[in-house]
Amino acid sequence: MRRDVFQAIADPTRRAIIGLIAIQAMTPNALAEHFDTTRQAVSKHLQILVECQLVKQEQQGREIFYQLEVDKMKEIDKWLDQFRKIWESRFNELDKVLSNIKKSPI
């Protein structure tokens, strides 16, 4: 089953995991040290992130390291960019209105 990316990143623990592995690839044990939860719970979060293709696994000897899937994050950013442009446009319009209000005599 393929999960929805936005449901995956809605969870604060998964967002924190993404933040950690964005800096460097980590094992589930190393990640679990950063949370007040079990290694199994962290593994479940990782499984969801892998299913969403936000994270990929890489076997190094007996360890599995998880690292950020940058291309998938770029897809999310591209999708969000359309809304960013709308918000910026609306804020610019609001700035103009507020500037006119300040300039007009009361």
Residue 73 has a pLDDT of: 87
- Residue 10's pLDDT is 92
- With a threshold of 0.95, does the pTM exceed it? no
Q: What is the mean pLDDT of each run of 10 residues along the chain (106 residues)?
A: 82 96 95 94 96 94 95 87 90 89 80
3-state secondary structure 5-53: HHHHHHCHHHHHHHHHHHHCCECHHHHHCCCCCCHHHHHHHHHHHHHCC
Task: Calculate ∠ Cα 64-65-66, nearest 5°.
Answer: 125
Is the distance from CB of 88 to CB of 41 less than 8 angstroms? no
Answer for the pair 8, 14: CB distance below 8 angstroms, yes or no: yes
Residue type, 105: P
Give the pLDDT of residue 2: 66
pLDDT of the residue at 100: 86
